[in-house]
Amino acid sequence: MNIKNMINFDRIKELILISNTSTYFYNNMVEEKTIREIGEKYSVSELFRVFKYYKEKFNNNIDTLIIIYCIIFSLTYKDYDSVEKFFDNIDSCDIRWSKDIKDIYFSRVKATTFINVHKNYSYKNLFSTDNHDPTNSILV
């Protein structure tokens, strides 16, 4: 597994340097083609393993920081249930905007729980005034 070969280091370095807000950084990172490709190619467990490895060896080296950011943002493409705990704890990572990344992720994540309703299911609108019988009202 060689994620380093997939990363566009120059582009990510540029984003780190020019981003003046966490939202700008987040939006551009998730739109990066290489970030998406890493997320598609590697499993959650592989990405966790690589993240842990580089986080432990992080010593303010820009290339290591770029790899860490790429792993974090590639995990945004994974199933919510498999990365929820990771993003919940990401602010413990000592990198710029980690808390903001966490907050933005959770504000944008879509719920994965759906309720299937049969196509012939019908319901009455509780707030409708059509055929309203005031004697059945709880307010009477």
Look at residue 119 and tell me if it is in a domain.
Answer: no
The pLDDT of residue 26 is 97
Q: Which comes out higher in pLDDT, residue 20 or 59?
A: 20
The pLDDT of residue 56 is above 60: yes
- The answer as to whether 86 is a domain residue is yes
Place of tokens 């060689």: 2
Residue 140 lies in a domain: no
Q: Whole domain around residue 108: which residue ranges?
A: 3-113
> Does position 115 have pLDDT exceeding 80, yes or no?
no
Residue 128, pLDDT > 60, answer no
- What is the gyration radius of the CA atoms in the chain, in angstroms? 22
Residue-wise pLDDT for 18-40, tens only, equals 999 999 999 999 999 999 999 99
pLDDT of residue 91: 86
| Residue 73 belongs to a domain | yes
Q: Who wins on pLDDT, 46 or 138?
A: 46
Residue 131 lies in a domain: no
In a domain, 34, yes or no: yes
The pLDDT, as a whole number, for residue 140 is 47
Q: How far is CA 20 from CA 25, 40, 86, in A?
A: 8, 28, 25
Residue 118 placed within a domain:
no
**Is residue 97 in a domain?**
yes
5-17: pLDDT as tens digits:
999 999 999 999 9
**Mean of pLDDT over the chain:** 86
Q: What is the mean pLDDT of residues 75-87?
A: 95
**Domains: count for the chain:** 1
90/84 Cα distance (integer angstroms) = 10
pLDDT band at 88 (very low <50, low <70, confident <90, very high): very high
